[in-house]
Amino acid sequence: MGGEGSTRWERYRKKPLVEACLPLDVAYLARAIPFITDGGERAGTLSWPRVGRDGEEPACQFTVKTTREEGWIELSYVVGATGEPVRQRMALTTTQPPFGGVRWWAWCPVCGARRRIVYLPPGRCLFGCRACHQLTYRSSQEAHRFDRGIYAAVARDFGIPSEPWTRQLRQLTRGEHEKIL
């Protein structure tokens, strides 16, 4: 029969979580390495405080070269699953906030959008933005559990069987909720 994605259930598969990824926050990097705002070149090591699956702290080598308005960052790291070395370069740019200062951004190497944070999901080779990797937050995946509990409690208070009430309540708009209650 059909392969992956051939059923309607494929759309209900859970997306990867942001919390499981290694984030690269350009604003944090600009604060941690002050020379970025002055222009110049620097190399070093980035590490993430959480421990990886294999018990080691994830890290990568970086080189940054900037002028006052733009630049690039090149990352060199090894992909954990395959052991394959990866070199990835991302362009950097700045904007001027209304009350002064400089705000640094990275251009997503996958889609070309300007982003503050790019992510490296588990099992992937390249950093990219949340949209490119189709990432979601844990709170988004768990929000419906809270709603079901509230619907069930309201149904219980009114002495109504909870399942039909829950379905009807989900289909109504907010204004119609107030008419019923």
Q: Are 63 and 35 in contact (CB under 8 A)?
A: no
Q: What are phi and psi of 120, to 5 degrees?
A: -120, 100
Q: Which of 16-25, 34-43, 133-142 has the lowest mean pLDDT?
A: 34-43
pLDDT-derived band at 55 (thresholds 50, 70, 90) equals low
Q: Region 32-44: what's the mean pLDDT?
A: 73
Nearest alpha carbon to residue 113 among 89, 130, 95:
130
Which pLDDT score, from 0 to 100, does residue 148 have? 64
pTM greater than the 0.95 cutoff: no
**Is residue 181 over pLDDT 60?**
no
Query: 51 or 96: which carries more pLDDT confidence?
Result: 96
Encoded tokens for 135: 């990432």
